[in-house]
Structure 1
């Protein structure tokens, strides 16, 4: 049993969604999980046992990272749900619990607002099941996530032997896989890769093409990252970065990141960043400011920020990019994403850090205005 009657204390449950009817009361409960009064007299009700419901929630919120603080039975729009209060262990002083609901009969995840999106829960399940057929999960769970500062998504969880081994997110309007990560134990791996960098890139290329069709991208970086397991070197991972290309010019933000297991060739991570509509990019794709002028502008700004470092500044690269990074949930206006010179540089202070750091300056390619500087270590 997860919930016992030992060491009772007083407590209350978390707030239910707008439009719900929950039986709330202050009752004697355990210090581990606060029980709402709606959980009484469930014998013969046909509802999922509370312990079983808690186990289902643990598939999404494992004990290693989350505390289940409370649980109650809630009725919302004529259906009954278990409402759990979740606290991230990374933020134990958080005021109030994060409310999480599952259907009290089926055990399926539920979130207010999921019926308002184009892709239904069942459709999301089918897309995920088809996309990861080779993984052979015992169960696929999906939960709609709607956070005000980020676009909504269907979060999905692949479960085998009552353990979530792969999780990710799916666009609720298009059905596009946005991201996922696959937990592959490092134990027993050899110290060196089995497949080559070129072979791993081919897998990454095929994965992106298979899920996105023909799109304009360019691989900007492909690296091998070594790792250690209990102090012993093991084959780590290949990491590939891809930039979205607009009018033959790469984007700063939009693109893909794919990680590959260097022993098996399995995809261990995938992130699709495709946040900007085509019409958001400026129609002016020919720079009026030269590369030399942009570099000089950044050197001058560097001298203002850290005059004592100017003699040690080294320009590493200067390239044209679309400066398309913006706050989450923001849709840029048509023509508002500028073409800019991205100037990468360092100085003796940055070179002395472990690992060495790189500073960046942005210069508008049409006006010469400095759009941003990331040179905090030089101050």
Structure 2
């Protein structure tokens, strides 16, 4: 695409210390510090923070923020923007479309004076039973993450990873399997994938996940029978052969040692790196990621063929190099404040 003669991308969006700023519309997208007006792409804490004046996001993301931060997370107002609807501020149009990352996650499609820029937030391209699938939007500038922006990161099929988990449960029926998974998005996805694989038994969950599980269920995501992962004195054997889903931090906590000879599992794209798995003492790595892998990143750029690519954070150098070889102008924004491990 070619830009309108008098408009440059930086006239519409520009990186600032507080985040990606729209001067014409006077709002930020996923700001890292409190601002007067924010558009939020999804509910992970490195993108969705409390204390902004006015917040626009999908209804699901607003619900997640209220659950995590309290109903007063926005000091002035909050504006629900369902997928496909457009809001306008100072002549700048913003439309939210699915990003495929977690429940309610969105790409912000920003249009002004004939220029279209898409801020994808965090995204993945593969199917996820717990959220709407990524929708590609033709644009002049595509703003992408690069969390797994190296060719070594090619995530396997989710079904195969879940099959490995169920095989281990079958092989070690006397042991509990504790799956480390982040509380927003990954935990619910793992549970849903287990249900699709035929695991209809009760799945036990850490208390830190109960509220978000209820929120997902309230938004139509069927997680099946769940129960708290609590151990009564002398009854640890009750969890033999069970699957427990807990925050990754719980794997290294005394909490996990209460279960019978637990198999520590960790669901993350980082489990592709064997050294990370060994460092965390993970017995059964599960390569299940909520971010685009290398092929998904490059396939997306090949499909969209934007006039320019901006890279917010992650492995910028490799993706910049790929763009250069493909003849696509690219620049690394190197935005500070986005945690590559959050939600992953």
Classify the TM-score, shorter chain: under 0.3
Which structure has the highest strand share of the two?
A: 1
Larger radius of gyration: 1
Structure that is richer in helix per residue: 2
Taking structure 2 as the reference length, what is the TM-score of the superposition?
Answer: 0.25
